[in-house]
Amino acid sequence: MPETYWWSMILGFAGSFAGTIPFGPINMTVVGVTLKKGAKAAWVVSIAAALVEILQSSLAFWGGKMLVEMLERSPFFQLGLFLLFLLLAISFWLKKPQVLSSRPIHGKMWPCFLRGLIVSLLNPQAIPFWVLVFSFYQMQGWLFVEAASLFLLFTGVMLGKFACLGLYSFFSLVIVRRVHNLTLWMNKILAVIFLAISLGAFGKYWSVV
């Protein structure tokens, strides 16, 4: 297989992994699910998030700039984001914390999969991030539009997302052994993250009205 094909996978993996490192709703969701339901449930959430990442990066690759500009200039879209994430912030702040059980909860994994899908889809920064990444790759002459290259590019995107979230899950298990009340703060942390996203959307709404 040509080296450019493998290079495409490396680019997808690197961009996705780097973009997942900063704390965000999906990261904290994986940590929370790991602490409350175990690593297996967290893997299911990570798989869902990785699949959504393929969709978001694909949208960014095929006409993402036009989509981002259209949404950035829409006051109704920004106002909708502001209200949505404000409600999420309030609900998570008021949600009663669940104390970590000594035994992880096992059960049906579909709720975890759906949770991973929903939280990942509610990430307004994903498509703009990939637009910037792909623009940088394009300027460097690293992108190839052959079918095999694109397949491996988005495969790398999926693997990078899953790998980074897997590390979050692993290290959350390590940390919780020393910080037993970490899960008590999980909802508060998510509330702050959602509030920050909400305020960012309100700032954009105020600038376009």
Owning domain of residue 110? 3-74+102-179
Q: What is the reported pLDDT for 102?
A: 45
Query: Is the Cβ–Cβ distance between 200 and 206 less than 8 Å?
Result: no
Q: Please provide the average confidence, as pLDDT, over all residues in the chain.
A: 81
Confirm whether 70 is domain-assigned: yes
Convert the pLDDT of each residue in 110-141 to its tens digit. 889 999 999 999 887 788 889 888 888 887 78
pLDDT surpassing 90 at residue 52:
yes
Confirm whether 148 is domain-assigned: yes
Q: What is the domain count for the chain?
A: 1
Confirm whether 161 is domain-assigned: yes
